[in-house]
Amino acid sequence: MNVSDSEIKSLLQSYKTITVYGLSHDPSKPSHYVPVFIREKGWNVLGTYPKEHNVGSFPIFKNLNEIPKEDRKFIDVFRSSDKIPEVVDEIIALGGTEVLWLQLGISHPEAEKKAEDAGIKVVSNRCLIIEYNRFF
C-alpha cells in the first residue's frame, strides 16, 4: 500500500465514480452491500461481474474493458488475494486507473508493487465503509 492513512480521506473526496471489480448479485455479501453503502453516500458506482444481474440497479459490465476509461479511475476490488496479480495485469493493460483499492482481507504485496510501479495509488486491506465512517 503506497497511500498513507492520512491520504485516504482526500483520496475518497477526489473521486466521484467508483468501479467495483466483482460486484455481487447477492445482497448478503460485502461485494454487494459495500457498493450499496457507498452509492447511498453519494458516489456513482458501477461494477463488473461475469454473469448478468441487475440486483441493486447497478450498471454491471461483464469485463473491465467494457467500462469507459473515465469510469475506471478508481477501482475497488472484491477478489481473493491470489487473483490480484491477474487483476493488476488487466488494469495496467487497459490503462486509466489511478487508484486500486483492495477491500478488507485482500492484499498481494508483489501485485501491489507492480501497480505502484505503474503509477497507481494502492490501498489494500481496507473497507470503504470503515474508512468512510472514520473520515466523514
pLDDT for res 30:
95
- d(CA 29, CA 68) in angstroms, rounded, equals 26
pLDDT for res 55:
67
The model carries a pTM of: 0.94
- Which residue type is seen at 40? E
pLDDT, tens digit, 9 for 90 and up, residues 16-72: 999 999 999 899 999 999 999 999 999 999 999 887 767 678 889 999 999 999 999
- d(CA 35, CA 47) in angstroms, rounded, equals 9
Residue 98 near residue 73, CB atoms below 8 Å: yes
3-state SS class at 65: helix
pLDDT for res 112:
98
